[in-house]
Amino acid sequence: MALGFSPEELRRMYQGGRGNETARRFARAWARVFRLGVAPKRWVTLEVRGRTSGRITRFPLGMADVGGDWYLVSMLGECNWVRNVRAAGGQATLARFRRRPVHLVEVPVEERPPILKRYLQKVPGGRPHVPVDKDAPVSDFARVAADYPVFRVEDPVTLTT
């Protein structure tokens, strides 16, 4: 149970790939916390220009680290931040203590399984949304890899695990 919510309740907060009012309140709070750098280093606030509004939108996200690279994973699959990043040509900002421009490169489906596994091992909030156990073999992640966009962070943010 995360923050007192069952996995089913957490999934319901994001029905249709978009957060309900409770999820949006949590997202605003976590985005502020992550931006301040209070949480562990893998937690950041993604800032990206909205594809229709043109305004900067903020999303609190956990990152996966694999082979010395850092990755953002969409626990909801196709969602607003993913569409915004694509529309922005991968140009975004990661905020943690300070804002840092980055370029996000979408990872091909066949390269995603080990990243998805690491993500679930390190980002508990993603577990209710991805239908594979965090301890399953990497091969099990291949069957869902196409459903969960992954972006490699370039112009690397200096982080350590």
Percent of the chain with pLDDT over 90: 58
Three-class secondary structure of residue 128 per DSSP = helix
The pTM of this model reads 0.78
> Of the ranges 51-55, 68-72, 153-157, which one carries the lowest mean pLDDT score?
153-157
Higher pLDDT, 41 or 112: 112
Per the listing, tokens 């903020």 go with 58
Which residues, in sequence order, are CB contacts of 158 under 8 Å at separation 6+?
none
Give the β-pairing of 91-96 and 98-106: antiparallel
Better-scored residue on pLDDT, 69 or 158: 69
Per-residue pLDDT averaged across 112-124, rounded? 96
Topology given in CATH for the domain delimited by 7-154: Pnp Oxidase; Chain A (2.30.110)
Q: In terms of Cα–Cα distance, which of 91, 131, 122 is closest to 7?
A: 131
Residue 125 and residue 62 in contact, taking contact as beta carbons nearer than 8 Å: yes
Side chain identity, residue 135: D
Does the pLDDT of residue 34 top 70, yes or no?
Answer: no
Domain range list for the chain: 7-154
The pair of three-digit structure tokens given for residue 158, joined into one six-digit string: 């200096």
Closest to 153 (Cα-Cα) out of 102, 78, 117: 102
Q: Which residue did the predictor score with more confidence, 81 or 124?
A: 81
pLDDT in tens, 73-111: 999 899 999 999 999 999 999 988 888 999 999 999 999
Q: How confident is the model at residue 60 (pLDDT cuts 50, 70, 90)?
A: confident
